[in-house]
């Protein structure tokens, strides 16, 4: 009986070591809307266990939560947050493709108008941070 119990214990120990040392691979799966804006990010860890581990980033606004128009813009850009909480202050940041901060403003209400008329034509990244959510959009400026 002791031999059987020892064999089972040893087998379980070896199996747990094999799973613990199994190589892991992390895969990012992202979903985009028709305008090319990311609306969902999922981190999937493969290996290290019998089933993949999925971590979904739920802190991204969906396309229905945010309206940014007109895009492309000639200079004036309107931002609306639908069904948002008014008491959360948000920060808007606009970055060039090189990662340089072009503009930073506070968004105290659910609507904001940005003046980009002094920026060069091109593609910019617009990030809105507020509470536990973040929105990232591509904005095109053209005259």
Specify whether 41 is located in the same domain as 92: no
Q: Is 4 part of any domain?
A: no
* Distance (Å) of CA 7 to CA 4, 15, 16: 5, 12, 14
Q: Is 34 part of any domain?
A: yes
State the residue range of the domain holding 39.
22-58
- Per-residue confidence (pLDDT) for residue 58, from 0 to 100: 45
The answer, yes or no, to whether the previous bond of 70 is cis (omega within 30 of 0) is yes
Q: Is 35 part of any domain?
A: yes
Specify whether 131 is located in the same domain as 96: yes
Specify whether 110 is located in the same domain as 72: yes
- Per-residue confidence (pLDDT) for residue 82, from 0 to 100: 79
pLDDT (tens place) for every residue of the chain, 143 residues total = 555 545 555 555 555 555 555 566 666 677 777 766 666 666 666 665 566 555 555 445 555 578 899 999 999 999 988 776 656 778 999 999 999 999 999 998 888 999 999 999 999 999 888 777 778 889 999 98
Express the helix, strand and coil content of the chain in percent, nearest 5 each: 15, 50, 35
- CB-based contact 110:80 (threshold 8 Å): yes
């Amino acid at each position: 009986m002791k031999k059987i119990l020892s064999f089972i214990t040893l087998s379980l120990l070896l199996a747990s070591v094999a799973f613990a040392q199994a190589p892991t691979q992390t895969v990012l799966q992202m979903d985009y809307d028709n305008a090319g804006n990311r609306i969902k990010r999922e981190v999937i860890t493969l290996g290290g266990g019998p089933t993949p581990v999925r971590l979904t980033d739920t802190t991204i606004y969906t396309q229905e939560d945010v309206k940014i128009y007109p895009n492309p813009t000639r200079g004036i850009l309107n931002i609306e947050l639908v069904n948002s909480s008014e008491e959360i202050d948000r920060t808007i940041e606009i970055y060039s493709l090189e990662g340089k901060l072009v503009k930073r403003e506070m968004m105290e209400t659910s609507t904001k108008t940005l003046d980009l008329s002094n920026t060069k034509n091109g593609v910019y990244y617009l990030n809105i941070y507020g509470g536990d959510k973040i929105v990232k959009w591509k904005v095109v400026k053209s005259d």
